[in-house]
Amino acid sequence: MNVGLVAAAISGLATSLGALPFVFVRSIPRRAYDGILGLGAGLMLAAATMGLLSEAVHDVRVDGVLDLGRLALVVGGFAVGVGIATIMDRFIPHQHAGGHHEHLGHAPGHDVHDRHDEPAPGDARRGYAIVGALTLHRIPEGLAIGAGFAVPGSSHLGLLLAIAVGVQNVCEGLVMAAPLRQGGVSGGAGLLIVATTGLTIPAAAVVGGALAGLAAPAMPFILALAGGTLIYITSNEIIPESHSHGHEGTASAGVVFGFLLTMVLQAILH
């Protein structure tokens, strides 16, 4: 778990790389922002499907016979993961992209492409809300990394997840730092705040590794839970955000490239 902890820590600290540009500038082009978000979404989706869920269903068949108990663990874990992410989405105060009218208070049919990323000068409250929400979202990411390193003989899965989550954290660093900077928080203070949130990942990774180690027979459940949570967060948060400002082509290209990049990484690490 020592290697896993180091990898999780590096993955968490990658958040500060996303915030680093805002030490020097107040904003970046929206198209670049959306493309980076798309890249992170592709990485997360591929890591969840080809990594976590693939490993979870790996031994569903034993000598050609379907193991219904293991399949039930996988399905149940996935459902619980989606349920946890749904609860987080409903009860953690945050703002979504333009299409999520239930959070923004807009009537259906009213597009708000450019208002999501333009907080009023001097108002950093929205930035802090985003920081808090994304910090909590990192808990399942850390759990996934810890569980990945706990899989017997498959430490490459943990490394794959750490890399994918690390790149995604760079993207999330941008997401957190931009509204803080636009809201009047200094570049240095914003960098420190965002970098601190990365500590959530190694802490959660320790928990994920411990749970997986203590409950080895429940490993399919834990892997599927982490996979379901990541898929829901990616499809409900990251992809809508990246596709809601008129740069859908750039964002989709990022998703595709992120998925392909994870495929290549998996082939190399495996």
CB 12 within 8 A of CB 199: yes
Model pLDDT, residue 12: 86
What percent of the chain is predicted at pLDDT more than 90?
9
Model pTM score: 0.71
Residues present in the chain in total: 270
Residues 6+ apart with CB under 8 A from 147: 52, 158, 208, 209, 211, 212, 219, 222, 223, 226
pLDDT tens profile 44-94: 898 889 888 888 888 788 777 888 888 999 999 999 989 988 887 776 655
Count of domains in the chain? 1
Percent of the chain with pLDDT over 70: 80
Q: What is the domain extent for residue 224?
A: 2-269
Answer for the pair 18, 219: CB distance below 8 angstroms, yes or no. Answer: no
pLDDT digits (tens, 9 = 90+) for 152-204: 766 677 888 888 888 878 877 877 787 777 777 888 888 888 888 888 888 88
